[in-house]
Structure 1
Amino acid sequence: MPESPIDPKLRSETRLPLAGLRVLDLTLARAGPTCVRHLADWGADIIRVEPPNSTDGLGGPRDGFDSVNLHRNKRAIALDLKHPDGHAAFLKLASTADILVENMRMQVKHRLKIAYDDLKELNPRLIYASISGFGQTGPYSKRGGVDQIAQGMGGLMSITGEPGRGPMRVGIPINDLTAGNLLALGIMMKLYDRERTGRGGYVHTSLLEAQVFMLDFQASRYLMDGEVAGQAGNDHPVNIPMGVFPTADKPINIAASSPKLWANFCKAAGREDWLEVEEWKTLQGRSKDRARVNATIAEVTRTKPSEWWIERLEEAGIPCGPVNDIKDVFDDPQVQHLEMAMPMRHRTRGDIRVVASPLNIEGLETGVYRDVPELGEHGAELLAEAGLSEEEIADLRAKGALGGAKGGGA
């Protein structure tokens, strides 16, 4: 097995806020790994625990774009938690961990005897963090959940897409990502609480909870005013004009709904006569006449190219921007300035780029300090750190409780 080309010593020599924290990563798919990636990027020692026959859980190769982007900055061990000796070795690791993150089906961790109740007496300082499809309790708690199911059940698909076209999913796994982000936030809160109490605890969220939370004003619109939102396509549900408009080359987004912005937009477009249209003098009036407002604006915006409009509208203080494809995003000078494409060197793919952390902590800089681990790559190393002898580690491997690379080094 080729060695990782990245020096993990750089991680220990770089002051990062989570340095010194040990995390057991039992996650798969995307929601759990999204949470762990925050912890990994900011200095925690991540131990990825997988079954000996793991295929990574992402539907692609271990050196595929998805796995590499999600599983950098980790060490790895392959343990059979169903084997008594594998389970015992896991408990050794759990006894020294600060955090455990998992997103199995609710009942699986109980069946494996690695749930919070199984570990809290072993390690009272452990923060146990879970993501499920629908919650740890309740009528749906035993169901498996994936992002698109939660998009549908959580109402998002009913308000996404053009009116009359039927439900539409969002183009990213927004529930997986949001649940992972929220769980990372919950872990940070519990870590702060542990500083005061000395005790860990159980932190959890679900795809469904994350989706309902992300409904935001559309949810409060219903809860307070009884309005059930429908699909509005590329238009903002209540503000007008705010949406996508054609230009001579590519579409752009324009947001000019406030009285001041609407007036400035009409002037910038050379159509101050729009300010005299009685039905358009208020936001409510423009909203009722949305189709005509949009069509009238589109007739004007399509006469000039996108860059002409963006420059002109920016000068007028009107929020606007192009509708980019993914290549355009990473070619954008602001995205490049923000360094959102982070360089790393992969053992087989060579010099590549992955998505950087969006968090900025002045005086600290994250990066890729460890390559994505092979299955069980650091097993022997980790078990030795937990106090097992070479003979005990060899015995685990002989019994099939420990898998992965025989060397198990860094």
Structure 2
Amino acid sequence: MSPLPEPQALPISKAPDQETPAPLPLDGVTVVDLSRALAGPYCTALLADLGARVVKVESGTGDPSRQWPPFDGKDSLYFDSTNRNKESIWIDLYSEDGKEVFRTLLSSADVLVENFKLGTLEKMGYSTEDLHNLNPDLVHVSVNAYGQKGPLRDLPGLDQVIQGITGITSVTGPADGDGYRVGLPIVDIASGMVAAFTAVSLLFGRERGNPTRTGATSLYETAVAMSVFQGQKALSTGTTPHRQGNSHPSITPYGSYPTATVPIVLAVSTQRHWTDFCTLIGRTDLLEDPRFVNGQERTEHRDALDREIAASLRSHPAEKWIEDIRGLGIPAGPIRDYGQVMADEHTLALDMIQRTRRPDGRELEILRGPVSLAGYPTPVRSAPPGLSANALSILAGLGIPEADIDRLVAAGVVKAQPDSSPQATPADAALQEVVSR
């Protein structure tokens, strides 16, 4: 392969015609995404939602989440959920030609995101010093399992393991039963959000002349930080928080309560709301009970109060209580499953579900990101990419001559077919050492 030319700026994907701010806030920012599974891809999906061009670099057998259910035909919906608005290129990252292609990609990028075990990137030849020498303006964000120091730093970690080791499981589930994992990979998702915030903060600092180019978070640090008042309670008082089922640990009444039909969730968080709520349910006698006179007393006598409230709420169906309680300005609502949520008129009114097409022409309904700009939702500009579906355009955008691209593809350094299934090599196994799932 002949020497590669000087890198050129990668072309920016254009958003479809719709009422969204143009340009998007991160238009012109190029992100190289080496991450796999969930925490890292969730981070880069958020960056892509805001306009960044995200080039997903895959190797070995590709992002392992491509093989995880549920499926739409041959397409993993697990993968689809965090890879909208991205492009994909498969590169043999351990061949010399592959390394040269990757270095060229990095030299024209703004951000590198990866979620390997500590030390994996360095083994690949991309230490902090190497990255700085290659591209002094490159922002590097790492998501790992347990942080950059401490006795657990070198261990792999996945979401549910981290939930258990950081206390989340200890406060989740029935009060008189075993702890539960949260029903979503909450630590991965939150870590992805923290990583995206870190990336944008580093970019902002770079524009203001700040020299810092590296940032990191971990599943462990994110999960411990998420403990907020529960962790602070243990830290400051020495009292260990415990599971309380569907009741809020600090505010009462706040939780799930039965009605004549189905349970509802309500949150009486102020003294005025407490007075209004007791009047609504016909229990003004509770206002005079010394056990319930203020928020602290109500929480200390939660079990007794919950029994009184449950008895009163069983007099009417859920729909009536929700309407009447909301009429007082008190938060209340039903407990829905995800099928109901996706069909809910409020979900649809927020344009949370957008439509795009897969490369084979099949329509795909997909959830957008959670951000709106100037009153309009961030758009899904493209469907999640097939494996290496954008390789040729990415290489051409780097200024690599067509003859060299042909040689790279012929040599297996780059895969050019979106449905290819490259075989993993022993060296590529390091790329599967992801820290989140």
Normalising to structure 1: TM-score of the pair? 0.92
Contact 1:252-1:306 at 8 Å conserved across structures: yes
Find the counterpart in structure 1 of residue 15 from structure 2.
10
Partner of 1:70, secondary structure, is coil
Aligned residue among 130, 137, 152 for 1:125 = 137
Aligned residue among 47, 50, 59 for 1:39 = 47
Aligned residue among 331, 352, 362 for 2:374 = 362
Shift of residue 58, structure 1, vs aligned partner: 4.7
Partner of 1:57, secondary structure, is helix
Q: What is the CA–CA distance in structure 2 between the aligned matches of 1:54 and 1:164, rounded to whole Å? A: 43
Shift of residue 11, structure 1, vs aligned partner: 5.6
Aligned residue among 314, 318, 321 for 1:302 = 314
Partner of 1:66, secondary structure, is helix
Contact 1:126-1:199 at 8 Å conserved across structures: no
Find the counterpart in structure 2 of residue 110 from structure 1.
122
Mapping for residues 233-382 of structure 1, pairs under 5 Å: 233-348=245-360, 350-362=362-374, 365-382=377-394
Partner of 2:32, secondary structure, is strand
Partner of 1:106, secondary structure, is coil
Partner of 1:203, secondary structure, is strand
Shift of residue 12, structure 1, vs aligned partner: 10
User: Quick check: 107-116 or 148-157, which moved more?
Assistant: 107-116
Unaligned runs of 5+ residues in structure 1 are 1-6
Residue-by-residue CA offset, 1:94-129 (whole Å, 9 max, x unaligned): 100000111111121111113433211110000011
Find the counterpart in structure 2 of residue 3 from structure 1.
none
Contact 1:247-1:301 at 8 Å conserved across structures: yes
Partner of 2:208, secondary structure, is helix
Partner of 2:226, secondary structure, is helix
Contact 1:41-1:73 at 8 Å conserved across structures: yes
Judged with a 3 Å threshold, the aligned counterparts in structure 2 of structure 1 residues 59 and 100 are, in CA distance, closer, same or farther, namely: same
Partner amino acid for 1:37?
Answer: A
Shift of residue 281, structure 1, vs aligned partner: 1.9
Q: What is the CA–CA distance in structure 1 between the aligned matches of 2:327 and 2:376, rounded to whole Å? A: 35
Quote the RMSD (CA, aligned, Å). 2.3
Partner of 2:56, secondary structure, is strand
- The number of residue pairs the alignment matches comes to 402
Residue-by-residue CA offset, 1:225-249 (whole Å, 9 max, x unaligned): 2221111111111221111001122
Judged with a 3 Å threshold, the aligned counterparts in structure 2 of structure 1 residues 381 and 217 are, in CA distance, closer, same or farther, namely: same
Judged with a 3 Å threshold, the aligned counterparts in structure 2 of structure 1 residues 68 and 257 are, in CA distance, closer, same or farther, namely: closer
Contact 1:125-1:198 at 8 Å conserved across structures: no
Shift of residue 46, structure 1, vs aligned partner: 1.1
Q: What is the CA–CA distance in structure 2 between the aligned matches of 1:33 and 1:131, rounded to whole Å? A: 11
1:24 aligns with 2:32: yes
Shift of residue 221, structure 1, vs aligned partner: 1.6
Find the counterpart in structure 1 of residue 396 from structure 2.
384
Contact 2:191-2:217 at 8 Å conserved across structures: yes
Mapping for residues 160-199 of structure 1, pairs under 5 Å: 160-197=172-209, 199=211
Residue-by-residue CA offset, 1:140-182 (whole Å, 9 max, x unaligned): 2221111111111111000111123122110010110000001
Judged with a 3 Å threshold, the aligned counterparts in structure 2 of structure 1 residues 192 and 299 are, in CA distance, closer, same or farther, namely: same
Normalising to structure 2: TM-score of the pair? 0.86
Unaligned runs of 5+ residues in structure 2 are 1-11, 421-437
Shift of residue 185, structure 1, vs aligned partner: 0.6
Q: What is the CA–CA distance in structure 2 between the aligned matches of 1:365 and 1:229, rounded to whole Å? A: 38
Aligned residue among 53, 56, 76 for 2:61 = 53
Partner amino acid for 1:227?
Answer: T
Aligned residue among 97, 101, 104 for 2:109 = 97
Q: What is the CA–CA distance in structure 2 between the aligned matches of 1:98 and 1:258, rounded to whole Å? A: 47
Contact 1:264-1:318 at 8 Å conserved across structures: no
Judged with a 3 Å threshold, the aligned counterparts in structure 2 of structure 1 residues 355 and 141 are, in CA distance, closer, same or farther, namely: same
Q: Identity across aligned pairs (percent)? A: 34
Partner amino acid for 2:345?
Answer: P
Contact 1:128-1:202 at 8 Å conserved across structures: yes
Shift of residue 220, structure 1, vs aligned partner: 1.5
User: Quick check: 65-74 or 327-336, which moved more?
Assistant: 327-336
Shift of residue 25, structure 1, vs aligned partner: 0.7
Partner of 2:357, secondary structure, is strand
Judged with a 3 Å threshold, the aligned counterparts in structure 2 of structure 1 residues 258 and 366 are, in CA distance, closer, same or farther, namely: closer
Q: What is the CA–CA distance in structure 1 between the aligned matches of 2:330 and 2:24, rounded to whole Å? A: 39
Partner of 1:49, secondary structure, is strand
Shift of residue 381, structure 1, vs aligned partner: 2.1
Find the counterpart in structure 1 of residue 157 from structure 2.
145
Contact 1:52-1:376 at 8 Å conserved across structures: no
Judged with a 3 Å threshold, the aligned counterparts in structure 2 of structure 1 residues 271 and 349 are, in CA distance, closer, same or farther, namely: farther
Shift of residue 320, structure 1, vs aligned partner: 1.1
Shift of residue 250, structure 1, vs aligned partner: 1.5
Partner of 1:121, secondary structure, is helix
Judged with a 3 Å threshold, the aligned counterparts in structure 2 of structure 1 residues 12 and 22 are, in CA distance, closer, same or farther, namely: farther
